[in-house]
Every structure is written in C-alpha cells, then in structure tokens.
C-alpha cells in the first residue's frame, strides 16, 4: 500500500480524509502538527504524497512544504487550505507544492488529486531510457531524471521535471497551457490552468539567468509558452 502523509490539526477533517484514503487503497499516516509531520516523514522515507494543511499552530503548512523541498524533490505535495484567495494558492505553489485543494472538498476530488500525484511519482521511479537531451547550456538526463545547466545540477520537483521534459522534447514549439496541463497533470485533472503559470514561474526562477526577463521559457501571450534560445 502506498503511504500518504495527512497533516491536519482538526481531528474531524483528518478522520474524514484518512477514511477516504483507506477506502481508495492508501495507507495514511496522521500528523496534527508540523513538527510531528516532519518527524514522521523522516521515519517514513517511502511516503508518496503529503497532504499539508496550511493553517496550523507552530510550524504552518507552508514552512513544512519548504523544509520538505529543501531535502526531497520527489514526494508529491498537496496543500489543504480553507482560504480561497488567489495569493494563498500561489504562495503554496511557490513554496514547492504540486497542487492545492480548497476546503470544503469532496472525497472524489481529493482522491483524484492524490491518484494523479501518485501516478506521477510512480512514473518518476521507472527509468524511461538511458539517454540525454542537450540543448544550449542544459543537459537533461532521462535515465536518472536530472537537469544540469553549465554542468551545475538544478534540483527539480517531479512536476518541474515533467515540464522541462515536455519543453525539451518540443524545442521552438508553442505549447498551450492546456497541452501542458494535460501532459503533466493528466487529462482527468480537476484543477485550474493557473497551476501551470505558477509552476512555470517557479521553474524560471531555477533555470533563467534573470527570471524577470526569461530567455529560455518565453510566454506566447494568450496561448502558453515556448522553449528556445
């Protein structure tokens, strides 16, 4: 059974999430504080996805997300938030989350989001081939799924790697936001197109010489993005 960390301080919500994850064949690991969640992740390195509530006493969900990403780029992260403001969603994604779900949410929606991230994690564990893609200063190793720029390793999340692979497989081609969403998150993804934009922003910070004036990932206004030099 695949392990899913559930960080939620409200016991009624945590129980609701845990019950539905078990029904879907997952093994939930429960935490009610950020500190406890980090300890459990250390004890369970095989956790596939972490569900992190944002509003917590002590270490909040954003900080837990940052700490996870500082050491682990593979685990999938979904932020659980009661806030509907745009900035809260963006903040969660910019700290390294792969997705967000706004409370109240349905069991079907949450399970679909978890399923999508678990599939992405499983794909990442299966080597595609033993090749490399060289473009400009970048080298993408498709066997160990790493990216280097001028010989320096750039740490990518599973989502960021999938976006880079899509770009480098299609140099010079304008890719719509819908194309990127369907390829990276899956055609059954429930979420909004803005998740593509925020992940592109995060990726630009990592790979561009100046993320405010991008030269590698350029915007095709009203459509999507293009990879080129």
Of residues 32 and 125, which shows the higher confidence score?
32
Place of tokens 């993005």: 225
Place of tokens 């080597």: 127
- What is the structure's pLDDT at 113? 87
Mean pLDDT of 111-140: 77
Kindly report the pTM of this predicted structure.
0.82
- What is the structure's pLDDT at 193? 86
Q: Which two tokens stand for residue 200?
A: 């592109």
Q: CB within 8 A of 215, min separation 6: which ones?
A: 208, 209, 229
Q: How far apart, in Å, do the first and last CA atoms of the chain sit?
A: 44
Q: Which two tokens stand for residue 76?
A: 């999938």
Q: Which two tokens stand for residue 139?
A: 């080298």
pLDDT digits (tens, 9 = 90+) for 18-31: 999 999 999 999 99
pLDDT digits (tens, 9 = 90+) for 160-212: 999 999 999 999 999 999 999 999 888 777 678 888 999 999 999 999 999 99
Tell me the β-bridge partners of 194: none
DSSP structural state of residue 35: H
Share of the chain above pLDDT 90, in %: 59
Mean residue pLDDT across the chain: 88
């Amino acid at each position: 059974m695949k392990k899913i960390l559930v960080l939620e301080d409200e016991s009624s919500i945590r129980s609701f999430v845990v019950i539905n994850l078990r029904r879907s064949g997952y093994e939930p690991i429960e935490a009610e504080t950020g500190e406890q969640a980090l300890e459990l992740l250390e004890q369970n390195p095989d956790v596939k996805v972490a569900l992190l509530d944002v509003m917590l006493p002590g270490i909040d969900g954003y900080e837990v997300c940052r700490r996870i990403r500082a050491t682990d780029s593979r685990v999938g992260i979904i932020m659980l938030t009661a806030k509907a403001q745009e900035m809260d969603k963006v903040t969660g994604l910019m700290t390294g989350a792969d997705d967000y779900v706004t409370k109240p949410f349905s069991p079907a929606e949450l399970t679909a989001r978890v399923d999508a991230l678990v599939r992405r994690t499983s794909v990442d564990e299966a080597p595609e081939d033993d090749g490399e893609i060289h473009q400009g200063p970048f080298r993408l190793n498709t066997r160990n799924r790493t990216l280097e720029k001028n010989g320096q390793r750039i740490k990518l999340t599973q989502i960021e790697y999938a976006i880079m692979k899509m770009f480098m497989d299609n140099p010079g081609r304008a890719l719509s936001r819908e194309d990127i969403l369907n390829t990276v998150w899956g055609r059954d993804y429930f979420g909004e197109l803005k998740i593509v934009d925020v992940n592109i922003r995060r990726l630009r910070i990592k790979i561009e010489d100046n993320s405010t004036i991008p030269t590698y990932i350029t915007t095709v206004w009203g459509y999507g993005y293009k990879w080129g030099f």
